[in-house]
């Protein structure tokens, strides 16, 4: 009977506390007062909220269980009168739950009052409610409440005090939160209280990983300049009592990361893995680990590759490294060499790339079945998969292109479909590959419709335009009308917006003369081009983005090839190999580009082949290539652009906008 009275009293306290600052609740549970482990029905009343007109509702339930956060995805069913319901089983030690409801991109977090329920009779209830809404811990808890729901540090401390009042056994689990909030809320030095608390904890035996790390975090609350001796002594005790504990592990990570000798680094890392097996530290993710662990591993993996040409260490470590490192492996060992091969920058073995890609991609896909520990308790499985898709999209695209090259068309189609929501219509290279895939499957009408929408977004390649023209002619269109047909597909608002932006970038600056050797024989002097509009493109054989921009530049060259008053020159700069001229010409010929290449002169100050580039880059404040410049008939620099942003059609439009504007000035 006493226990029942106590539970009812706790419910009463919780109800009063929620009522103090709560509007009418949109969340209700059935049974009304459930216990941990019960199966419950969650009812969400969407009326008058952001999801009032939603066609479907999903959600995530964040449960504070035994002082750890657990996340569960839920799918709700319509229950009439703008209410939605879902069933779920509470975890065995649930003390507090918070729900977030979603439909498409609209999210209902509850604004000032989150959709929450407190199991006041369970240890952790008051702590969960307090720390979820305290800004001091927003990086340590699920970041799921609205800004208006955050509470003052004093209020957060009040909830920790309630926890200790009703569940004094929680002290070892909440000391860090309480001490940090006390320091923040009072503005008074709490070092005496902190030292007393930590000394008591250190006197205990067998502290778990979480408590060890909470001690480390509590030390960071102290002013280190006046408490360094105490901090050092606590850290010494932690390392001595727990030589294979959390702090000892952190210190080892930092030491191995900083070790300059590669052989010593490898030896220390092997010893580290024996002393600190990963499965013993799944319950804690420290700041040191987040900053240095992946870098430490990468230094060893890539050290093997650079020093020994040994790729097996990377291939054999896929099961043990982080998801982030797996992405990095695929990027450096598959995507970069694949792109360089297709740019003509560096030859790669497609068979080897496929072997590596299959290993890395297989393991990355496996990691999508569970939330990695760095996101544990913060992201649900579905949220993790959505975030992972964003992270993996680039590698998925490489994998799809690699599958196309090796004629694994089912694999290509699978991965192109995965990233279509992110890339579709809005990425010219993706659009080209996707169109090619549709045409290969005989889906001509779908390909035509897809290309039309890509044109509207101004994200098409010359190959796509050639395919579209072929379909257009087969459908009875006249060759003379194709250009007008393409223009009719474009978005007028996008065209005007793009034109306004590019025109706003116009400048009017004097530019120094040059006299450079031409690939077509003789030399080209800038001052001889008076009366003509000159387009310069600084590039190099080693520059991937420069080469990626060339299809768009070829479209521009083709557009103005009959206009004697518009000249294009492609300045090959910063080359460092002896036969670069021969390689340049072979590349231009292989790609079928009609370019007049100029070779940058030797810089007397540096001895490098960057005479004109260095002069212009200093004069006009840019660095890197590709760099495009347009000079008017009066010999003034009117526009410049650095880099390449992925769309050939957008690039030719950009060049055309400036050229046509400069022409209009002379009328």
**Cα(561)–Cα(563) distance, rounded to whole angstroms?**
6
- DSSP string covering 433-444: HHHHHHHHTT-H
401-415 pLDDT per residue, tens: 999 999 999 999 999
For the chain, what percentages of helix, strand and coil (3-state, to nearest 5) are there? 55, 15, 30
> How confident is the model at residue 646, as a pLDDT?
84
**Cα(235)–Cα(231) distance, rounded to whole angstroms?**
6
pLDDT band at residue 1 using 50, 70 and 90 as cut-offs: very low
- Average pLDDT of the segment spanning 356-379: 96
* 3-state secondary structure (DSSP) of residue 238: helix
> How confident is the model at residue 17, as a pLDDT?
46
pLDDT at 21 over 70: no
> How confident is the model at residue 24, as a pLDDT?
52
- Average pLDDT of the segment spanning 505-511: 96
Alpha helices in 309-347, H assignment, sequence order: 312-316, 323-330, 336-343
Distant-in-sequence contacts of 176-180, Cβ < 8 A, 24+ apart: 176/214, 176/215, 176/217, 176/218, 177/127, 177/130, 177/131, 177/134, 177/137, 179/218, 179/221, 180/136, 180/137, 180/217, 180/218, 180/221
- Average pLDDT of the segment spanning 18-47: 83
Task: State the CB neighbour count (10 A cutoff) for residue 378.
Answer: 18
* 3-state secondary structure (DSSP) of residue 59: strand
Is the four-CA dihedral 17, 23, 27, 31 of positive or negative sign?
positive
Cβ–Cβ < 8 Å for 524, 598: yes
Tell me the pLDDT of the chain averaged across its residues: 94
293-350 pLDDT per residue, tens: 999 999 999 999 999 999 999 999 999 999 999 999 999 999 999 999 988 888 999 9
Cβ–Cβ < 8 Å for 595, 568: yes
Tokens 């926890």 correspond to 163
pLDDT band at residue 224 using 50, 70 and 90 as cut-offs: confident
pLDDT at 205 over 80: yes
- Average pLDDT of the segment spanning 612-624: 96
381-430 pLDDT per residue, tens: 999 999 999 999 999 999 999 999 999 999 999 999 999 999 999 999 99
The four Cα atoms 475, 476, 480, 482 give a dihedral, to 10 degrees, of -20
100-157 pLDDT per residue, tens: 999 999 999 998 999 999 999 999 999 999 999 999 999 999 999 999 999 999 999 9
> First vs last Cα of the chain: how many Å apart?
98
Task: State the CB neighbour count (10 A cutoff) for residue 547.
Answer: 23
* 3-state secondary structure (DSSP) of residue 517: strand
Those residues whose C-beta lies under 8 Å from the C-beta of residue 209, and which sit 6 or more positions away, are 245, 246, 280, 281, 283, 284
Q: Picking from 25-29, 433-437, 502-506, 563-567, which range would have the lowest pLDDT averaged per residue?
A: 25-29
**Cα(405)–Cα(380) distance, rounded to whole angstroms?**
36
Q: Cα separations (Å) of 654 from 54, 292, 385, 458, 535?
A: 41, 43, 37, 11, 12
460-503 pLDDT per residue, tens: 999 999 999 999 999 999 999 999 999 999 988 888 999 999 99
> How confident is the model at residue 322, as a pLDDT?
96
**Cα(489)–Cα(470) distance, rounded to whole angstroms?**
16
Cis peptide leading into 647, omega within 30 of 0? no
- Tell me the residue ranges of DSSP E strands in 66-153: 68-78, 83-89, 94-103, 106-108, 115-118
Phi/psi of residue 379, nearest 5 degrees: -120, 140
Task: State the CB neighbour count (10 A cutoff) for residue 509.
Answer: 11
**Cα(635)–Cα(510) distance, rounded to whole angstroms?**
7
> How confident is the model at residue 56, as a pLDDT?
96
- Average pLDDT of the segment spanning 511-519: 96
What tokens were used for 74? Answer: 């839920």
Q: Which of 56, 59, 86 is nearest to 71 (CA)?
A: 59
52-88 pLDDT per residue, tens: 999 999 999 999 999 999 999 999 999 999 999 999 9
Cβ–Cβ < 8 Å for 535, 566: yes
pLDDT at 287 over 50: yes
b/e code 262-271 from CB counts within 10 Å (16+ = b) = eeebbebbee
The DSSP bridge pattern shows strands 94-103 and 106-108 to be antiparallel
636-659 pLDDT per residue, tens: 999 999 999 889 999 999 999 999
pLDDT at 20 over 60: no
- Average pLDDT of the segment spanning 187-210: 96
Counting residues of the chain whose pLDDT is more than 70, the rounded percentage is 96
Those residues whose C-beta lies under 8 Å from the C-beta of residue 286, and which sit 6 or more positions away, are 213, 216, 246, 249, 250
Q: Which helix (H) or strand (E) holds 466?
A: helix 462-474
Q: Cα separations (Å) of 616 from 517, 536, 600, 627?
A: 18, 11, 12, 10
Q: Hey, which residues does 567 pair with through a beta bridge?
A: 534
């Amino acid at each position: 009977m006493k226990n029942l009275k106590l539970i009812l009293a706790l419910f009463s306290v919780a109800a009063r506390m929620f009522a103090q600052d709560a509007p009418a609740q949109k969340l209700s549970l059935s049974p009304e007062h459930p216990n941990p482990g019960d199966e419950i029905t969650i009812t969400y009343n969407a009326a008058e909220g952001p999801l009032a007109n939603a066609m479907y509702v999903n959600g995530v339930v964040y449960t504070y269980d035994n002082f750890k956060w657990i996340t569960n995805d839920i799918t709700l069913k319509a229950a009439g009168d703008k209410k939605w319901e879902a069933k779920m089983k509470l975890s065995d030690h649930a003390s507090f739950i918070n729900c977030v409801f979603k439909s498409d991109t609209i999210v209902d977090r509850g604004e000032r009052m989150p959709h929450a329920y407190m199991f006041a009779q369970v240890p952790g209830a008051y702590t969960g409610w307090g720390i979820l809404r305290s800004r001091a811990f927003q990086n340590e808890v699920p970041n799921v409440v609205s800004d208006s729901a955050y509470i003052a540090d004093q209020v957060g401390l009040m909830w920790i005090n309630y926890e200790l009042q009703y569940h004094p056994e929680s002290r070892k689990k909440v000391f860090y939160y309480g001490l940090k909030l006390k320091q923040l809320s009072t503005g008074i030095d709490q070092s005496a209280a902190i030292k007393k608390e930590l000394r008591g904890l250190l006197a205990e035996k067998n502290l778990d990983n979480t408590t060890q790390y909470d001690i480390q975090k509590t030390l960071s609350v102290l002013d280190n300049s006046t408490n360094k001796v105490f901090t050092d002594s606590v850290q010494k005790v932690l390392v001595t009592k727990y030589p294979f504990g959390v702090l000892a592990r952190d210190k080892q990570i930092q030491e191995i990361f900083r070790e300059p000798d590669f052989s010593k680094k490898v030896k220390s890392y092997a010893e580290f893995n024996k002393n600190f097996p990963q499965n013993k530290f799944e319950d804690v993710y420290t700041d040191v680990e987040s900053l240095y662990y992946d870098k430490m591993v990468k230094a060893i993996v890539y050290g093997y590759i650079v020093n020994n040409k040994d790729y097996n260490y990377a291939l054999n470590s896929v099961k043990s490294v982080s998801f982030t490192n797996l992405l990095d492996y695929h990027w450096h060992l598959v995507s970069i060499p694949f792109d360089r091969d297709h740019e003509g920058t560096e030859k790669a073995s497609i068979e080897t790339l496929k072997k590596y890609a299959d290993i890395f991609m297989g393991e990355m896909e496996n990691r999508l079945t569970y939330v990695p520990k760095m996101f544990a308790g913060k992201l649900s499985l579905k949220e993790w998969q959505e975030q992972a898709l964003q992270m993996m999209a680039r590698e998925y695209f490489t994998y799809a292109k690699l599958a196309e090259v090796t004629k694994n068309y089912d694999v290509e189609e699978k991965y192109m479909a995965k990233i279509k929501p992110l890339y579709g219509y809005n990425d010219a290279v993706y659009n080209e590959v996707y169109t090619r895939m549709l045409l290969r499957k005989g889906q001509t009408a779908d390909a035509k419709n897809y290309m039309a929408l890509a044109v509207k977004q101004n994200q098409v390649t010359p190959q796509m335009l050639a395919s579209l023209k072929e379909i257009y002619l087969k459908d009875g269109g006249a060759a003379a009308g194709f250009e007008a047909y393409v223009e009719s597909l474009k978005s007028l608002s996008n065209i005007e917006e793009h034109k306004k932006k590019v025109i706003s970038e116009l400048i009017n600056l004097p530019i120094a003369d040059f006299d450079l050797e031409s690939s077509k024989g003789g030399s080209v002097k800038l001052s001889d081009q008076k009366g003509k509009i000159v387009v310069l493109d600084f590039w190099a054989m080693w520059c991937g983005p420069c080469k990626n921009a060339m299809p768009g530049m070829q479209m521009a060259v083709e557009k103005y090839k009959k206009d004697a008053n518009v000249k294009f020159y492609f300045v090959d700069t910063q080359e460092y190999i002896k036969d670069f001229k021969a390689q340049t010409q072979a590349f231009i010929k292989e790609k079928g580009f009609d370019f007049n290449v100029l070779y940058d002169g030797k810089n007397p100050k540096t001895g490098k082949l960057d005479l004109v580039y260095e002069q212009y880059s200093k004069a006009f404040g840019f660095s890197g290539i590709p760099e495009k410049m347009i000079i008017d008939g009066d010999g003034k620099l009117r526009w410049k652009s650095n880099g390449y942003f992925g769309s050939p059609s957008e690039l030719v439009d950009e060049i055309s906008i400036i050229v046509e504007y400069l022409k209009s000035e002379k009328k």
